[in-house]
Structures are given as C-alpha cells and as structure tokens.
C-alpha cells in the first residue's frame, strides 16, 4: 500500500474516528497504524487521554524500532479506549471509534482504532495491545484477524502501561498470513504458516454459554465435530486477571486520580477507583492463583494443539448501550491474559455484523498454524 492511499482512506473514513494523529513519514514500505499508547519519535503519545505531556516522544518504542528495521512506515496513531482501560473505544476526548459495519455501534476496545484501520484498508496492518481482550474484542467486532502472542514475546518498552504484568503487544491484519509476518517483524521470532496440517482442537467444557443469537449461529457453524475437553473453570482465570489488572492500573494512575480526576472519562475513573479499593491480601491471592492456573493449563493442553471458543458473547453493541456490556465482551478473552497463552481471533464467514472466534494455543507458531488451517477450512462454509 502507498502512504498516499492510506491517508486518502483515513480522510474518507474520518467519521469513524479511527485516528488521533497522522505521521509525517514519507517513502515506500509496509504501512502500519500504531495504537496511540506506543511511542513514535516526533509524535505525541496520548494513550487516548488528556493527562500525558503534549511533547512529542524523543525516541521510538522498542517495537517501533524493530518494525522500522524491516522497512515499515507509520501512517498514524490510532484511537483507543482511554488509557486502554475499556472494551468499547467510546473515547470521550477524541470521539467514539465507530464500527465500519454499522457506525452506530462500537468498534470494540481498547484497540478499536487499529481494528477499524485494518477493516477499512487504512494500512497494511496495525499494532494493538491486549491486557484483557483489547486486540481480540475489536478484532471480533470489526471482522479482522488479531494475535495476542505468548506473554512477553514482544518488548513493551516505550508503551504506556495498563497492567505491566498482563500487557501484551500484537498485530492486527486482514488475514492470518499477514498477522504471522507482522508478528515476526515485531518480535524477531521466526514463524511459518506454510504446509499446515489439521490441528488437534478441543472446546473447553462448560465455557461456551449465554451467546446472543448471531454469535450462537456462528458458533454452531464452526464448532461441530470438535470434542469437548477438560479445562480450568472459566471464572478462576477471569477473576484473578481482573484483580491484577485493577490493582496495577490503579497503581500507575494513583497520583492523577487524586490530582486531576476531572480529566478522566467517568467509566475509566470508576474502574481506577475500584482498583484502589482492592485489598492487598486479595491481590496477593490473585497472583498465587495465577501461578496455579499456569500449571493447570499446561496439563490441560497436553493432548491438544489449541482450544476453540468465541471471542465475545455478543456482536457489536450500540454505542449508547455499550457501557453495560463489559462482561459479555470480556467473558472469553480475559482468562487467557491471566494464563498468558497465545490467542488468534479469527473472523467467521457470516452475514451481518462480524463474529470472531478465538484459537488458543501453547506456542506462537503452533497457534498461528492452527488458525491458518481453520481460516482455510472456513472459506468453504455457508452461513
């Protein structure tokens, strides 16, 4: 893609509020959109808020240095849920990121702008971050592929944190092959999605319930024939991960919550104050539970290559009701931030609003290869 074409599409779809700022980059190369909590030299990093200094970053974040070494160009910084602490990208400062399939609905968050940039062809691929589902939720709601790599795979130096022990950077793109290439560029880890074979896939027993009808129909389309397998009870990693996120986010924002609470949107301020109220003993127990879960999940995954389950329980909700939808949007994503597993979100070929499925694996390459096999198989499905 040419930078000029990417910028033309950004202007054409300005009403979707996908970008906060546009880069001065020029030249030829792969065009990448960057979530605006990642430092890009010469550009202001807002993290979707209005508290951080307005001075441009002096140097690129580590991940930007990595992709520039591969000839990538930055087209701009994408809009997001304020400080990445939400699942809608209904940003009070830079406008709500609107779903390209229905602009009255949310794009999902917190990497909503990155998902929209990919879905509308504003870039070749985009960088998002994922702490509780922030790549996978907008990927599902906007109908693009996203990848949350194994925790720690990509350097987060120069990235505004939400929860430093859970934060993960990852790519978003139109297809698995592009996501795999982008991941290698971002991480330096070589992966291959060539000559893939049928993976051993299981559905976690007792996890998939409470879906809205469009999501349920998509699930029926792709889940038939895959066996149920024993896996940890869903609420355990969900609850532990939420406790850790709340405390670490409140720790980072503690001074600003006191000095300038009026500069936060009401939903984010409420979540940050909730984090301040968590007891130290509950945080310590959540960290112990996380260690136990990691060991149990390793055992649960011994005889399979990947799990398959929905990314969200609902399709994109209307913007005006989206504040009520945190749990059904994070129900299936948050547990895998706690376990640290790599996850691909993969669109199902359905009519109407997009629906995405999660492919949850053990290694980055194995997860991407399983997703590639499913992507090819699903091309023949008839909704």
pLDDT in tens, 31-72: 999 999 999 999 999 999 999 999 999 999 999 999 999 999
- Mapped onto helix, strand or coil, the DSSP state of residue 256 is helix
DSSP string, 125-166: EEEEEESSSTTHHHHHHHT-EEEEPSTTSS--TTB--S-TTT
Which residues lie closer than 8 Å to 267 by C-beta, 6 or more apart?
86, 323
Q: Are 305 and 91 in contact (CB under 8 A)?
A: no
Strand 125-130 to 30-35 pairing:
parallel
- Alpha-carbon distance of 40 to 190, in angstroms, equals 24
Q: At what angle do helices 235-259 and 266-276 cross, to 10 degrees?
A: 100
Q: Are 234 and 226 in contact (CB under 8 A)?
A: no
Q: Tell me the mean pLDDT in the region 22-26.
A: 97
Facing residues of 72 across strands?
30
Which residues lie closer than 8 Å to 75 by C-beta, 6 or more apart?
3, 6, 7, 10, 22, 23, 25, 31, 32, 33, 117, 122, 123
Whole-number percent of the chain with pLDDT over 90: 97
pLDDT in tens, 319-374: 998 788 999 999 999 999 999 999 999 999 999 999 999 999 999 999 999 999 99
What residue ranges do the domains of the chain occupy? Answer: 3-187, 201-378
pLDDT of residue 338: 98
Is the pLDDT assigned to residue 383 strictly greater than 80?
no
Task: Report the candidate in 260, 326, 269, 234 with the shortest Cα–Cα distance to residue 92.
Answer: 269
pLDDT in tens, 107-126: 999 999 999 999 999 999 99
Which residues lie closer than 8 Å to 286 by C-beta, 6 or more apart?
239, 240, 241, 243, 244
Neighbours of 357 (CB within 10 A): 27
Is the pLDDT assigned to residue 162 strictly greater than 90?
yes
Q: Which CATH class is domain 201-378?
A: alpha beta
Task: Report the candidate in 19, 112, 46 with the shortest Cα–Cα distance to residue 329.
Answer: 112
- Mapped onto helix, strand or coil, the DSSP state of residue 246 is helix
Quick check: bond before 110 cis, omega within 30? yes
Residue 37 DSSP symbol: T
pLDDT in tens, 70-97: 999 999 999 999 999 999 999 999 999 9
pLDDT of residue 378: 97
Q: Are 264 and 82 in contact (CB under 8 A)?
A: yes
Q: Are 244 and 287 in contact (CB under 8 A)?
A: yes
Query: Where in the sequence numbering do the catalytic residues fall?
Result: 35, 110, 134
Domain topology for 3-187: Amidase signature (AS) enzymes (3.90.1300)
Which residues lie closer than 8 Å to 363 by C-beta, 6 or more apart?
150, 342
Cα 270 from chain centroid (whole Å): 22
The token pair that represents 315 in the structure block: 């399709």
Q: Residue 380: pLDDT band by 50, 70, 90 thresholds?
A: confident
Q: Tell me the mean pLDDT in the region 166-184.
A: 98
Q: Residue 163: pLDDT band by 50, 70, 90 thresholds?
A: very high
pLDDT in tens, 191-243: 999 999 999 999 999 999 999 999 999 999 999 889 999 999 999 999 999 99
Listed in sequence order, the DSSP H helices in 188-334 are: 213-223, 235-259, 266-276, 280-300, 326-330
The residue with tokens 């940039």 is: 117
């Amino acid at each position: 893609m040419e930078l000029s074409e990417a910028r033309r599409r950004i202007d054409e779809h300005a009403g979707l509020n996908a970008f906060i700022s546009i880069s001065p980059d020029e030249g030829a190369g792969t065009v990448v959109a960057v979530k605006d909590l990642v430092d890009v030299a010469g550009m202001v990093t807002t993290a979707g808020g209005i508290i951080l200094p307005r001075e441009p970053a002096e140097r690129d974040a580590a991940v930007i240095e990595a992709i520039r070494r591969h000839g990538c160009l930055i087209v701009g910084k994408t809009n997001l849920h304020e400080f990445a602490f939400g699942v809608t990208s209904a940003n009070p400062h830079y406008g709500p990121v609107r779903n390209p399939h229905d602009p009255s609905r949310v794009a999902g968050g917190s990497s909503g702008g990155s998902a929209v940039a990919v879905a509308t062809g504003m870039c070749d691929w985009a960088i998002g971050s994922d702490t509780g589902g922030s790549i996978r939720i907008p990927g599902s709601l906007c109908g693009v592929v996203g990848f949350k790599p194994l925790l720690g795979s990509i350097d987060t130096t120069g990235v505004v944190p939400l929860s430093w022990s859970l934060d993960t950077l990852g790519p978003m793109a139109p297809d698995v092959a592009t996501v795999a290439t982008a991941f290698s560029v971002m991480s330096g880890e070589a992966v291959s999605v060539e000559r893939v074979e049928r993976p051993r896939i299981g559905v976690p027993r007792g996890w998939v319930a409470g879906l809205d009808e469009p999501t349920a129909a998509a699930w029926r389309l792709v889940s038939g024939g895959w066996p149920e397998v024993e896996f940890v009870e869903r609420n355990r990693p969900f609850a532990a991960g939420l406790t850790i996120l709340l405390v670490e986010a409140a720790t980072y924002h503690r001074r600003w919550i006191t000095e300038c609470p009026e500069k936060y949107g009401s939903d984010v301020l409420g979540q940050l104050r909730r984090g301040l109220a968590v007891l130290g003993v509950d945080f310590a127990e959540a960290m112990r539970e996380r260690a136990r879960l990691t060991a149990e999940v390793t055992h649960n995954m011994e005889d399979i290559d990947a799990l398959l389950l929905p990314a969200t329980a609902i399709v994109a909700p209307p913007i005006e009701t989206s504040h009520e939808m945190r749990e059904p949007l994070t129900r299936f994503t948050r547990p895998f931030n706690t376990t640290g597993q790599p996850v691909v979100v993969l669109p199902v070929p359905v009519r109407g609003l997009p629906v995405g499925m999660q492919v949850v694996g053990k290694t980055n390459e194995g997860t991407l290869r399983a997703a590639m096999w499913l992507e090819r198989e699903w091309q023949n499905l008839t909704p």
